[in-house]
Amino acid sequence: MQMPAPSADILARRTRITRRLREVLPGDAVIDDPIETRAYECDGLTAYRCPPLAAVLPSTTEEVAAVLRLCHDEGVPVVPRGAGTSLAGGALPTADSVILGVARLTQVLETDYDNRFIRVQTGRTNLSVTGAVEADGFFYAPDPSSQLACAIAGNIGMNSGGAHCLKYGVTTNNLLGVTLVQMDGTVLELGGAHMDAGGYDLLGLICGSEGQLGVVTEATLRILPKPEGARPVLIGFGSNEVAGACVSDIIKAGILPVAIEFMDRPCIVATENFAHAGYPDCEALLIVEVEGSEAEIDAQLGLIRQIAARHDPVEFRESQSEDEARKIWLGRKSAFGAMGVMGDYICLDGTIPVSELPFVLRRIGELSEQFGLKVANVFHAGDGNMHPLILFDANKPGDLETCEVMGAEILKLCVEVGGCLTGEHGVGIEKRDLMNVQFAPEDLEAQMRVKDVFDPKWLLNPAKVFPLAASESRRAG
Partner 1 sequence: MTADALAVIRPQSEAELAEVLRGASAPVAIRGGGTRPVGLIQPGGVLETGGLSGITLYEPGALTLVARAGTPLAEVEAALAAEGQRLPFEPMDHRALLGTTGAPTLGGMVAANASGPRRVVAGACRDSLIGVRFVDGTGNVVKNGGRVMKNVTGYDLVKLMAGSWGTLGVLTEVSFKLLPAPDSAATLVWDGLDAAQAVALMSTALSLPWEVNAASHLPDGRTALRIEGFEASVEYRAEELATALARFGRSVRLSRKDSVTLWQQVRDVTPFASGQGAGDVWRLSVKPSDAPALAASAGGDALFDWGGGLVWLRLAEGTDLRARLGTFRGHATLIRASVEARRNLPSFQPEPAPVAALSLGLRARFDPRGLFNPGLMG
Window 96-135: residues binding partner 1 (CB under 8 A): 112-116
**Nearer to partner 1 (CB atom), residue 60 or residue 355:** 355
Q: Does 424 bind partner 1 (CB under 8 A)?
A: yes
**Nearer to partner 1 (CB atom), residue 123 or residue 384:** 384
Among 62, 134, 296, 433, binds partner 1 (CB under 8 A): 296
Which amino acid is residue 159, in one-letter code? Answer: N
209 Cα distance to chain centroid: 12
Contact (CB, 8 A) for 45 and 92: yes
Q: Does 433 bind partner 1 (CB under 8 A)?
A: no
Show contacts with partner 1 in window 202-231 (CB under 8 A): 202-205, 207-209, 225-228
Show contacts with partner 1 in window 5-34 (CB under 8 A): none
Contact (CB, 8 A) for 37 and 151: no
Q: Does 446 bind partner 1 (CB under 8 A)?
A: yes
Which of these ranges, 14-22, 119-127, 289-297, 312-320, lies near partner 1 under the rule CB under 8 A? 289-297
Among 413, 444, 459, 470, binds partner 1 (CB under 8 A): 444
Distance in Å, CB of 339 to partner 1, minimum: 21
Residues 6+ apart with CB under 8 A from 113: 133, 136, 138, 223
Q: From edge to edge, which strands make up the β-sheet containing 187-191?
A: 108-112, 117-121, 215-222, 175-181, 187-191
Contact (CB, 8 A) for 429 and 3: yes
Of residues 267, 270, 247, the one with CA closest to residue 257: 247
Alpha-carbon distance of 304 to 316, in angstroms, equals 10
Measured from the Cβ of residue 23, the count of other Cβ atoms closer than 10 Å reads 10
Distance in Å, CB of 353 to partner 1, minimum: 5
**Nearer to partner 1 (CB atom), residue 3 or residue 437:** 437
Q: By rule CB under 8 A, what string of x and - marks binding of each residue 383-402 to partner 1?
A: xxx-----------------
From the CA atom positions of the chain, what is the Rg in Å? 23
Write b or e for each residue in 378-387: b if 16 or more Cβ atoms lie within 10 A of its Cβ, otherwise e: bbbbbbbbbb
Q: Does 416 bind partner 1 (CB under 8 A)?
A: no
DSSP result, 428-448: TTTTGGGHHHH--HHHHHHHH
Q: By rule CB under 8 A, what string of x and - marks binding of each residue 166-205 to partner 1?
A: ---xx-xx--------x---x-xxx-xxxxxxxxxxxxxx
Helix (H) or strand (E) holding 131: helix 126-133
Show contacts with partner 1 in window 230-259 (CB under 8 A): 247-249, 251-256
Which of these ranges, 40-48, 141-149, 272-280, 350-358, lies near partner 1 under the rule CB under 8 A? 350-358
Q: Does 94 bind partner 1 (CB under 8 A)?
A: no
Q: Does 138 bind partner 1 (CB under 8 A)?
A: yes
Q: How far is CA 245 from CA 33, 53, 159, 249, 303, in A?
A: 56, 52, 29, 6, 15
Number of residues that bind partner 1 (CB under 8 A): 93
Q: Does 155 bind partner 1 (CB under 8 A)?
A: no
Alpha-carbon distance of 215 to 125, in angstroms, equals 16
Distance in Å, CB of 87 to partner 1, minimum: 12
**Nearer to partner 1 (CB atom), residue 254 or residue 397:** 254
